[in-house]
Amino acid sequence: MTLGMKADEALERYRIVVQGAEDGSVKYPDSDNAAGTIGVTQEAQATAGNSVPVRLLGVSHVEANEAISAGGLVMCDADTGKAKAATSASGVQLYVVGVALETAEADGDIIKMLVRPGETQSD
């Protein structure tokens, strides 16, 4: 499912976004493991205030910022919206974006991910 949403800032294609300043708007996360994950941009949008298509649920490409194993949970990276392996200290709430369907070997790799935002407790 993809929905057009208002970009609060310039956004790159295949980046994870979170709830923006207004209803129906999106922006890059301000921190790793950010709450309020919305989905993944499907196109770049260079102008704040314009619409950008965001995949809310389903399969999407996403740009990684590090190695991610296929089948692993994915969360967002601060400021860039790139995907990273979901890890944190024991007992910490994880805000996951989805599940990697392919392996990323390094920063900049584009992989397929099942987008299904949610929360889980780390072991």
Per-residue pLDDT of 86-96, as tens digits, reads 986 677 788 99
Does the structure show a pLDDT above 80 at 33? Answer: yes
Mean pLDDT of 99-113: 98
The per-residue pLDDT for 90 is 75
Confirm if 32 and 76 have CB atoms less than 8 A apart: yes
The per-residue pLDDT for 80 is 93
Does the structure show a pLDDT above 90 at 20? Answer: yes
The per-residue pLDDT for 46 is 96
For residues 9 and 40, give the distance between their C-alpha atoms in angstroms, rounded to a whole number.
15
The per-residue pLDDT for 30 is 92
Does the structure show a pLDDT above 90 at 76? Answer: yes
Q: Which two tokens stand for residue 35?
A: 């709450």
Binned at pLDDT 50, 70 and 90, residue 123 comes out as: low
The per-residue pLDDT for 91 is 76
Question: Average pLDDT, whole number, for the chain?
Answer: 93
**pTM, whole model, 2 decimals?**
0.93
Share of the chain above pLDDT 70, in %: 97
Helix, strand, coil content of the chain in percent (nearest 5): 0, 50, 50
